[in-house]
Amino acid sequence: MGSSRDIAIGPVAVVSMLLSSLVTKVIDPVANPHAYRDFVFTVTFFTGIFQAAFGIFRLGFLVDFLSHAALVGFMAGAALIIGLQQLKGLLGITHFTTKT
């Protein structure tokens, strides 16, 4: 198989978790699903614009200022949250926390 510098290893749903926690604090998806959808599309669009701008202006070197321990801790925490959230479906738990 081999390796690639472009491969993403680890919980790749971290951006989705951050987006979900941001959007649900602003708009209730049950009360107003259309505004929720529009807000998610808008936030996703501007996230893509920022990522493209970082790529165009070659600002990837800013990641070098983050310590390895901080990145590993963040990814481990995200993996733990994703794993625990998946347990509710696996074990059939109906009353599970939604405050993640």
pLDDT band at 98 (very low <50, low <70, confident <90, very high): low
Higher pLDDT residue, 70 or 16?
Answer: 70
pLDDT band at 40 (very low <50, low <70, confident <90, very high): very high
**Of the candidates 33, 1, 17, 26, which has an alpha carbon nearest to the alpha carbon of residue 77?**
17
6: its two tokens: 């472009």
Higher pLDDT residue, 38 or 17?
Answer: 38
* DSSP secondary structure letters along the chain: ----TT---S-TTHHHHHHHHHHHHHS-TTT-HHHHHHHHHHHHHHHHHHHHHHHHTT-GGGGGGS-HHHHHHHHHHHHHHHHHHHHHHHHT-SS-----
pLDDT at 15: 78
pTM of the model: 0.63
pLDDT band at 11 (very low <50, low <70, confident <90, very high): low
